[in-house]
Structure 1
Amino acid sequence: MSDCPLLPVVGGDLLVPTVMGSEVRYTNLDYAASAPALEVVAEHVVRVLPLYASVHRGAGYASQVSTSVYESARVIVGDFVGARPGDEVIFTRNTTDSLNLLASIVPGETVFLDIEHHANLLPWVEKGGRVVVSADTIEQTLLRVDEELARRPAALLTVTGASNVTGETLPLRQLANIAHRYGTRLAVDAAQLLPHRRVNLQLQGIDYLAFSGHKAYAPFGAGVLVGRTDWLDAGPAYLRGGGAVTSVSVEKTEWRTGPSRHEAGSPNVVGVAALARAIQALDQLDETEWTAHEAGLRQRLVDGFDQLPEVRVHRIFSDSTDPVGVVSFTVDGVDSRLLATYLSAEWGIGVRDGKFCAHPLLRRLGITEPALRASFGLGSTDLDADRLIEAVTAFLRVGPTWNYDLVDGHWEVRDDTRPRPEWAPELAATVGFYGCAA
């Protein structure tokens, strides 16, 4: 049972209005998109802000403190993910940024799977990478990867650690063994894995690891790429500007090596400080309790959906056994976009609807229209899973109690009565929705 959150998060007791005029506790089931800040992270940011200053370039007291906070974060992150001696920890904007940085320095071909998030697919497609079409089982998929690398070795094999669509995880140690057999390095998109599971580069044989602070309870705009130094030092500077150089003239530029080579400009000191504090909190968790917390929540939701014949829970592999707290589903004959709008307006439940920036995977699963995704985290409880089951059951048995209109491909609440905070303006009609719904 998960009657209490494993760690308290900001907004854990948030009350939101419904269209019926009541207020309910917000049921946040969208951790896979962006996790709320841990309370300890928010408190740390408040402590850091008065001493925020430019790093690496100032003799002032605040600058010296900020520099120490920023650089010590590399050690905290590196230790947490089991970085090897000499590995570089580079701070970026997010996982997408980290993977694009990696794509810019890989000295050769890349092999990737068709189940990837677009962040770990589009950079490699643009570079002419080779795709391995996943099989119905993990075992057969590993065999296909082995066969592809045996046919022609590549510089890099890049895979997701945990699917952002189904939560299913891949056996990273086995993939590393396959890759290394052919002189290929392994990169892991850990955006969905690291907030839910321990990751260790040395034990799992990972050469490069990318993840985001905003999915790891530090939503302040920082990401990470950790990995082997040689490619990072030999590749072109990812950002060209102040801090990345040792000498500049109009004729010649001498670039630094190390993390500064790719971190030009003023870095996100507050975001990095927040991420480091989140990592420290994750590091203090009991691994067994952490895994059991999310496994119980996920199974509770899946078991509830199993009682609803109209609900289809999606999975990639028939032999997967260790998914993280992510569940994607569709409901027979129901527009997922309408159901998501109903859940928000009448129940105060936040889920994700769309194709989750994984279009090839959804096509592989036979999903042609937007789906729904519920995702759990450290702040989730059994009540969250139960409330979603109750709300979907009510939709199927009774239907919505409010009216909704389909406008330009999006469902809107007719005569929406819900007040917004005075500091949050209404969404202008000219503002589009940027996601992966189509």
Structure 2
Amino acid sequence: MTVTLVPSLPTLSTPSRPDPLGVLGVPGEINLDHAASAPCARAAADAVTELLPWYASVHRGAGALSRRCTLAYERARQTVADFLGARPDDHVIFTRNTTDALNLLARALPAGTTVVTFAGEHHANLLPWPRGSVRLPVPDSPGGAVRSLDAALAELSRDARPGLPVLVAVTGASNVTGERWPVAELAQVARRHGARILVDAAQLAPHAPVDLAALDVDYLALSGHKLYAPFGAGVLVGRADWLDAAPPYLAGGGATSHVGAGTHEVRWTTGPARHEGGTPNLLGAVALAAVCTALAAADRDALHAREQALLARLREGIAALPHVVELRTFGPDAPRVGIVSFVVAGRDSADVAAHLATAHRIGVRDGLFCAHPLARRLLTEAAARSGRTDLPPTALRASLGLGTTESDVEALLTALATLP
């Protein structure tokens, strides 16, 4: 038998960086790809390590291990609910990620529901919705988004059959540009027209507090792997009525209260368990809850101020490079989280990303970022705005997070300025 030796991974360490979660990293590597998957927080890793010796089934056993794991799982659910400002009668359903959560809600929509989205959404918030959904053009400002939604919902109120539900589905922050959307104002418009609203908080929650009750939104989805808990868990949080009335997302053990001998002799449970069939991702839920606890205890205002300073320096540095053009949907001063997408004139984005990785040990993302309609539009607008005809068909994205330092940002700017 031939044995192939696999090289050992570099030793992980907790960098001496100003973040309350102690994100893990590899010395010498500059990770500017947090928007795709954030590094693991020490709080998440420690919570998983502590629970592993007790690991057992959830909701299935009477032994001490199973009882402890069941308690940990349900405590995690309550922790996430508290972190997101869930109302007492909201459901918190653990999923794999944001995409899974949005698909779950799409399957739970009452018959005849019209879903209203904007064309600037991530594919996860474009593709799951039923036929007949309304896709609004990308607005040029936050105020334009509010006016566009108001007009669309008014038209639906006139033309749609009375009594059929409407759901507005919108991102909290763009995964392409980092620009924040006016969620509270959009929720007010939805309320005025009797519509419900869902927020894709995958990119917003890692950077800013998100509170369902304060925002007055009906549903919220996010991914643990973007929130420093990369153990394969996400959540859908929101109103119980549609979820309890819908068929189970996954038919199987745990989603039933009774199964008889007949083919259709099944009584499905209500509550989160209805949509969590099968053995749940205990470690993912516990890791996500641990990060929520750590972030809830942190000074979010200070973290926001620090990120905004890094973001301002990055955008300022990019603007000073004549061969680099930033992508944006709104005006240059629109509020945003720590994400910047850009193109290097005359250079293939994939080649630039590869060069940054090999020559400078800087990790960024290249492509269209699972938001093809928006990214292609912004690339066209960037060419028109800059007057350049040599921009590539795909872009680069640098995304900041806890643990990103001033030297990381300067290293990227220097690398872009000295591209061979």
What TM-score do you get using the length of structure 1 for normalisation? 0.85
- Which sections of structure 2, spanning at least 5 residues, go unmatched? 1-15, 158-164, 381-391
Match of 1:32 in 2: 35
**Which residue, out of 331, 338, 348, partners 1:318?**
331
Matching of residues 277-292 of structure 1 within 5 Å: 277-292=290-305
> 1:134·1:144 contact (CA, 8 Å) conserved in 2?
no
Q: Answer yes or no: is 1:168 the counterpart of 2:192.
A: no
Q: Answer yes or no: is 1:343 the counterpart of 2:347.
A: no
**Which residue, out of 121, 126, 137, partners 1:133?**
137
**Structure 2: distance between partners of 1:38 and 1:6:** 10
Matching of residues 139-158 of structure 1 within 5 Å: 139-153=143-157, 155-158=166-169
Counterpart secondary structure, 1:239: coil
Q: CA deviation at 1:363?
A: 2.2
**Which residue, out of 273, 280, 304, partners 1:267?**
280
**Which residue, out of 19, 38, 59, partners 2:62?**
59
Number of aligned positions between the proteins: 383
String of CA shifts for 1:390-421, please: whole Å, max 9, x gaps.
Answer: 111110xxx0xxxxxxxxxxxxxxxxxxxxxx
Counterpart of 1:136 in structure 2: which amino acid?
D
Deviates more, 1:79-88 or 1:126-135: 126-135
**Which residue, out of 97, 119, 134, partners 1:94?**
97
**Structure 2: distance between partners of 1:206 and 1:246:** 31
> 1:138·1:320 contact (CA, 8 Å) conserved in 2?
no
Counterpart of 1:119 in structure 2: which amino acid?
A
Match of 2:48 in 1: 45
Counterpart secondary structure, 1:159: strand
**Structure 2: distance between partners of 1:121 and 1:299:** 30
> 1:6·1:293 contact (CA, 8 Å) conserved in 2?
no
Q: Answer yes or no: is 1:79 the counterpart of 2:82.
A: yes
Matching of residues 286-305 of structure 1 within 5 Å: 286-305=299-318
Match of 2:230 in 1: 219
- Which sections of structure 1, spanning at least 5 residues, go unmatched? 16-24, 400-438
> 1:7·1:38 contact (CA, 8 Å) conserved in 2?
no
Q: CA deviation at 1:206?
A: 1.0
Counterpart of 1:159 in structure 2: which amino acid?
V
Match of 1:21 in 2: none
Counterpart secondary structure, 1:374: strand
Q: Answer yes or no: is 1:378 the counterpart of 2:402.
A: yes
Q: CA deviation at 1:8?
A: 5.1
Q: CA deviation at 1:320?
A: 5.4
Counterpart secondary structure, 1:257: coil
Q: Which runs of 4+ in 1 moved over 2 A?
A: 7-12
**Structure 1: distance between partners of 2:347 and 2:418:** 13
**Structure 1: distance between partners of 2:332 and 2:344:** 24
Counterpart of 1:391 in structure 2: which amino acid?
A
Match of 1:404 in 2: none
> 1:38·1:278 contact (CA, 8 Å) conserved in 2?
yes
Report the CA distance shift for 1:320/1:162 in structure 2 as closer, same or farther (over 3 A).
Answer: farther
Deviates more, 1:313-322 or 1:230-239: 313-322
**Which residue, out of 350, 365, 368, partners 1:355?**
368
> 1:314·1:329 contact (CA, 8 Å) conserved in 2?
yes
> 2:173·2:203 contact (CA, 8 Å) conserved in 1?
yes
**Structure 2: distance between partners of 1:358 and 1:187:** 18
What TM-score do you get using the length of structure 2 for normalisation? 0.89
Q: CA deviation at 1:135?
A: 2.1
Counterpart secondary structure, 1:146: helix
Q: CA deviation at 1:229?
A: 0.4
Match of 1:306 in 2: 319
> 1:109·1:156 contact (CA, 8 Å) conserved in 2?
yes
**Structure 1: distance between partners of 2:46 and 2:19:** 18
**Structure 1: distance between partners of 2:48 and 2:264:** 42
